[in-house]
Structure 1
Amino acid sequence: MTSVTYEWQLTHDLDAFLGRAGDFLRARPDRHTVALTVTDGLRRRGMSQYGGSAPVFGTLERDGAVRGAFFRTPPYRLNLTSLDERDARSLAALLADAGIEVPGVSADKDTAEVFAEVWGLRTGARAKRLRSERLYRLAGLAVPETVPPGRPRVADEGDRDLLARWYTEFAESIGEGGYSEPGAWADGRISYGGITLWETPDATPVAMAGVTPPVAGQLRVGPVYTPAPLRGRGYAAAVTAEVSRAALAAGVQEVLLFTDLANPTSNGLYRRIGYRPVADFATCDFTYEG
């Protein structure tokens, strides 16, 4: 019987990582949407956009082919492609031995759970589930029959303060506050037309929906945000349908989004406008004693 050999390759070099893992990531652009968009952002906007610490990347290569990949852009969590228990265990050992800080993990549900378990056994860390999400793909756009009064508008420099404020509110609502500087986030989205607002007839913005830049034929919708006092009026559905329509019109092949499984309202909304489930994902934070 031929023996199977495999190994993880670690690097801080984005080009080297994409040279190894690019084809693997592009083969499943839906399941790898976060890795594709984050690495594209690093390539376009520079390696320091998330902070002063260098990102780290890794690929799992077996029998001459890439079977898995990860990245971490400090201060954010480790992000993994799908791994089985053996490969998660070998990655945990490698990261621990290399002294790489791992404050948490984000991956498909099964991978996140198995990595959290083996990381805890290896390091003594305790995992806490922060968020359970469902990845959706647009199967066929169904524009809402009833659209609230108003119109969509792509956000520009004059909306910077509003976007920064809404981003802060959104990030805090999902437990992600404090990572990105809100003004810099707004500038980045404005630079490529990445936020669309829904305005009432008197030109008052009442909701926003963002999109990532397209890469490998896919883009991801998000964040979608309506301030609490304005919810329940159809603004989120209207603005999400608009950015989805615009993505399809631009030739994007895969229009994706994540929803919080704890929010049945948003999950129902996206299904009504044509999104269908792909896979469930989980985000866990780690705490360390001593």
Structure 2
Amino acid sequence: MDLKIYKDANEFSLKVEPILIQKEDVNSLFLGVLQGIKSGLYENAFMATIEERDKVIAIFQMTPPHPLNLIFVDENRLEENMDLLIQNLMNLKIELPSIISLKPRAYRFAEKWEAETGMTTKLVMDQGLYRLDQVDDTLEKSPGIWRFAERKDCQLIGKWYYLFAEEAGLPILTTKEINDRVALMVSNQEVFLWEDDGEIVSMMKKSRPTKHGVTVSLVYTPKDKRRKGYARTLVAAISNELLKEFDFCVLYTDMMNPTSNKIYKEIGYKKIVDSVQLGFEQENGISISTEIEKTRN
């Protein structure tokens, strides 16, 4: 049993995609990021497997400074797979700002990482992964209409992007970083807006398409426009549009936010797994996970 590190994203993809696609919804984050690596969106990606006699029993992926995504294929080999991964991470001096995985596995890995490094674990985001196959068309709709974001909307979207990150406790990007991201998202027609009487009142985006699914993210309504159902109506409308192209939609929710979880369930999203993102801090409390970005963005 050995840990194999891949430098070629296409070679890695050929090895792991047949396994990941078996649970495409659960593995949507991993698959979506892998597509991004293959298209050149990420630099210095860490891609690895644990293999025994050419059989893959664990899969790992990290695009620094984002979290290390842990997938353990063989539940019976969980403990030894974690030990082997930790040994290699330490030997290779790979910095580990944070991890993301199914909740029990993430916490077990964190226990082992703490024991080996002396670091402490910090909860970054307690997440639920939801899947949608059909929108509840009986939902009451808020007034207005959706449209694609345009270049003229970039300034407003950039402002809301900042506020979204601030409210979610995410690292605040520089103005240039935000502007660059927004410009790319808008040019790719990934951002959707809801207008009521000509005023933009809510936004969301699509991201990380996989073979059969797509992720819904960056859902934001300014405080003075909340409690009017705009976000729910927008997400329902766009999810319905996305289902014309994809078999399903997925989204990550903050389980500590009962409001967002409630509205997604009303739309028809159903929780399929509990996920968690954990960061690591040194004993003196200095965080090495300050660059973490929430995966549903």
TM-score by length of 1: 0.90
Contact 2:98 2:277 in 1 (8 A): yes
Bigger CA drift: 33-42 or 256-265? 33-42
Partner of 2:14: 19
Contact 1:89 1:119 in 2 (8 A): no
Shift of 1:259: 0.7
Q: CA RMSD in A?
A: 1.8
Shift of 1:111: 1.5
Aligned length: 278
Contact 2:207 2:217 in 1 (8 A): yes
Structure-2 separation of matches of 1:270 and 1:167: 20
The yes-or-no answer on 1:216 pairing with 2:211 is yes
Structure-2 separation of matches of 1:172 and 1:144: 34
Structure-1 separation of matches of 2:48 and 2:154: 35
Extract unaligned runs of 5+ from structure 1: 1-5, 49-53
2:189 to 187, 193, 196: 193
The yes-or-no answer on 1:266 pairing with 2:256 is no
Contact 1:76 1:179 in 2 (8 A): no
* DSSP 3-state at the match of 1:249: coil
1:39 and 1:184, CA in 2 relative to 1: closer, same or farther beyond 3 A? Answer: farther
Partner of 1:164: 158
The yes-or-no answer on 1:228 pairing with 2:220 is no
Counterpart amino acid of 2:243? L
2:244 to 249, 256, 271: 249
Counterpart amino acid of 2:99? V
Extract unaligned runs of 5+ from structure 2: 285-297
Contact 1:137 1:276 in 2 (8 A): yes
1:148 and 1:67, CA in 2 relative to 1: closer, same or farther beyond 3 A? Answer: same
Contact 2:193 2:234 in 1 (8 A): yes
Quick one: percent identity of the two aligned structures?
30
Structure-2 separation of matches of 1:64 and 1:10: 14
Q: How does 1:80-91 map to 2 (within 5 A)?
A: 80-82=70-72, 84-91=78-85
* DSSP 3-state at the match of 1:265: helix
Shift of 1:68: 2.0
Partner of 1:51: none
Partner of 1:3: none
Q: Which runs of 4+ in 1 moved over 4 A?
A: none
Counterpart amino acid of 2:189? G
* DSSP 3-state at the match of 1:255: strand
The yes-or-no answer on 1:120 pairing with 2:114 is yes
Shift of 1:114: 1.0
1:14 and 1:35, CA in 2 relative to 1: closer, same or farther beyond 3 A? Answer: same
Shift of 1:213: 4.5
Contact 1:144 1:237 in 2 (8 A): no
* DSSP 3-state at the match of 1:88: helix
Counterpart amino acid of 1:219? V
Structure-1 separation of matches of 2:254 and 2:212: 24
Partner of 1:37: 32
Contact 1:8 1:58 in 2 (8 A): yes
Shift of 1:179: 5.5
Contact 1:144 1:238 in 2 (8 A): no
Partner of 1:74: 64
* DSSP 3-state at the match of 1:136: strand
Structure-2 separation of matches of 1:129 and 1:105: 10
